[in-house]
Amino acid sequence: MPRRVILLGASNLTRGFSTVIETARLLLGSPLHIFAAHGHGRSYGMRSRFLMRQLPGILECGLWPALRRRPPAAQTYALITDPGNDIVYGRDPETLIEWIDECITRLNGRHAKTIITQVPIARVRRLPEWRYSLLRAILYPSCRLPFAAALDRAERLSHLLGELAMRRHIPLIDMNPAWYGFDAIHIQRKQLSLAWSSILSHWIDAGRAACAAPSLRRCLIFRRATPETYRLFGRELHTSQPAVRLPNGTIVHLY
């Protein structure tokens, strides 16, 4: 029976998605049945917009009904990443923790082995205020959160994630500051293989690593894939799932 993988996140998961899929295959074998909810600017608990595309919140998307329609897998692995993305939407850390905690509850209902990535707080602390203002204007033009307030919320979220991981007995993975570049929140493309190998290796008790080689073809396959439901230029669109079927038998559902 294929192993199941559930992936939840925002821009870092989107930017490295093909690398994540290949790394999971190297670690867990194939075929895999993958269910993912991600996207640039993706929120865990509310509808979000990036340029002219809108996506439902991760908690509200079709991934969860799709999982309920399927029998439990023999083994399920889950990743919760990009936990701080909602800060720029004005959400307080306590609300974000409630959303992530609800994701964990649902994943526990699927008997998933779940891992969470920490906020890259060490790198964020070193971000100059002028650079934050520039990136906020480019990536999140509707955000008016001052740098000091954003940093304070990131610090609080980091602390609360630590408490949540301890309470839930889930690995919380620190993010290496060396993985990040100019904006301090996105993993550099040259670091994608190393970073995702380090993160996903926590699914395996032995801790063995598996680095996925870069592949333009694999990247293009996933760039063309679209989620089950999204809005583009105000028009609601739908894509039948699975969105991708790979030659090794792995199938990928996007929500």
Say if 4 falls within a structural domain: no
Element (H, E) at 231: strand 229-232
Say if 2 falls within a structural domain: no
Type of residue found at 111: H
Predicted pLDDT at 206: 57
Instruction: Please check whether residue 242 is in contact with residue 211, taking contact to mean a CB–CB distance below 8 angstroms.
Output: no
Domain of residue 110: give its range. Answer: 9-254
Say if 223 falls within a structural domain: yes
- CATH classification of the domain holding 189: 3.40.50.1110
Say if 1 falls within a structural domain: no
- pLDDT tens, N- to C-terminus, the chain (255 residues): 789 999 999 999 999 999 999 999 999 999 999 999 999 989 999 999 888 899 999 999 999 999 999 998 989 999 999 999 889 888 899 999 999 999 999 999 999 999 999 999 999 999 899 988 888 888 778 778 898 999 999 999 999 999 999 999 999 999 999 999 888 889 999 999 999 999 999 998 655 678 888 888 888 999 999 999 999 998 999 999 999 999 999 999 999
Q: Domains in the chain: how many in total?
A: 1
Predicted pLDDT at 40: 92
Element (H, E) at 95: helix 93-109
Predicted pLDDT at 232: 93
Say if 222 falls within a structural domain: yes
Separation CA 19–CA 194 (nearest Å): 10
Q: Please give the model's pTM, rounded to 2 decimal places.
A: 0.95
Cis preceding-peptide flag for 56 (omega within 30 of 0): no
Instruction: Please check whether residue 228 is in contact with residue 62, taking contact to mean a CB–CB distance below 8 angstroms.
Output: yes
Say if 178 falls within a structural domain: yes
Say if 38 falls within a structural domain: yes
Cis preceding-peptide flag for 72 (omega within 30 of 0): no
Predicted pLDDT at 207: 57
Say if 51 falls within a structural domain: yes
